[in-house]
Structure 1
Amino acid sequence: MAFGVRQFELALMHRMRDLNPGRVEDALHDMGASRAELRAAHTQWTQMAHSTRAPKGMAALRMALGPPPYRGAAPFGSLTCDVARWVLPSWPDLEFEVLLGPGGEVWNQWFVRPGGDTALTFADLVPWGCVVADIGASFPGASQTEGLAPHHWAIDFPHNGTHYRARFVYGLYQRLDRP
């Protein structure tokens, strides 16, 4: 079975299901996909990641998503890293970004907003509607923390005297908790 954009989106959603199963179920319905297809995509992506013959890193992403429509560079401390981005059909207002280290290894992969972060209000915190940078820039005192699983992030921030934790998978907002 070929592994393309649809399967890649499903593999991402498999991890998103950890924090927002209802939103993933809605997306599966919208895509005409089943839970079995979601599991199969995740299994295939995982098997490719551990196979000695399958492409790795950026080559695996190119195989699944095609050549990146955006290539650029980004400074990180004293390093300049390569950046590649793709637009995925399930998240048309965002881009899936891959940050590559100096040796070409994938250092990070997550969703970003093209053109930079956007100002949000508390009411704008809608699952799958914003990314890490949006919340970090919109709420003074926001601080990033590690997530509980691979590709998970969290941002703690105060709003109207109450502390909240925004949870993300692949940099995409999933839900809001009170820590």
Structure 2
Amino acid sequence: MSSLFIEYDDATGPLQLQLVLLRRMEDHHPDLVDDALHRLDVPRAVMREANRKWQGRLRAGGRRRPAGIKDYGALLGPAESVVPRALGDLQCEVHTWPVPLWPELRFEVTVAPGVGTALNAWLVRAPGAAGPELRTLDDLAPWAATVDEVARAFPPAKPMEGTADNRFRLAFSGPDKSGQQRRCTAEFAWGLLQRWEIA
């Protein structure tokens, strides 16, 4: 193993999670990822190695499987909080962890008790943290809002299938700066807004 990875090889917790999140976001905004890596004082190659190890864990045994709460727990340690949440008739548990790169956010994993597979895993606004003021489409800046925040700001929003793992899309209508309503599609990576376009 190259000496580049030795310093980071045994690291777990928020750093490794952040690197996995950033690798998916790099597809949309390499400039923002560069800035984030600089703040974390981590080389880009280490980010890619962290993602490779995460993907390797999910492909262990020769089959791709969805991440489960044990995977996230092994990476992050004990959750900051675990609370019950009903999704229709299904009683679930929601596990959350802090994310130092985005202190106003939390990483949230929803699981059905006894199943272990994550039903959802993404970034959400931390309790008590002020979210962005989303009045027009011009307010939709990259990394500024979560899925729930965009959906609440521009109802009714329709969930759409993402273009890759850990991507999510919303179809909605919102006013441009002149007040004209535009039909749009927004794309998120790990629950954080990456881009939007006129549909």
**Aligned runs of 1:124-135 on 2, under 5 Å?**
124-135=139-150
> What corresponds to 1:71 in structure 2?
82
Q: CA deviation at 1:134?
A: 0.2
1:13-71 deviation per Cα after TM superposition (whole angstroms, max 9, x unaligned): 1111122222212211222222211111111111122235xxx6222222221210110
SS state of the match for residue 45, structure 1? helix
Partner AA of 1:10 in structure 2: L
Partner AA of 1:124 in structure 2: D
Identity rate of aligned residues, in percent?
34
SS state of the match for residue 33, structure 1? coil
The question of 1:154 aligning with 2:169 is answered yes
Q: Name which of structure 1's ranges 14-23 and 81-90 shifts more when overlaid on structure 2.
A: 14-23
Q: CA deviation at 1:3?
A: 4.2
> What corresponds to 2:10 in structure 1?
2
RMSD: 1.9
> What corresponds to 1:145 in structure 2?
160
Unaligned runs of 5+ in 2: 1-8, 62-66, 175-179
- 2:189 corresponds, among 145, 165, 169, to 169
The question of 1:120 aligning with 2:140 is answered no
Q: Look at both structures and tell me which one has the larger radius of gyration over its CA atoms.
A: 2
The 2-side partners of 1:7 and 1:95 are apart by 15
The 2-side partners of 1:141 and 1:48 are apart by 38
Query: Normalized against structure 2, the TM-score is what?
Result: 0.80
Partner AA of 2:118 in structure 1: V
Contact 1:3 1:64 in 2 (8 A): no
Runs of 4+ in 1 over 6 A off after TM superposition: none
> What corresponds to 1:13 in structure 2?
22
Contact 1:110 1:170 in 2 (8 A): yes
> What corresponds to 1:31 in structure 2?
40
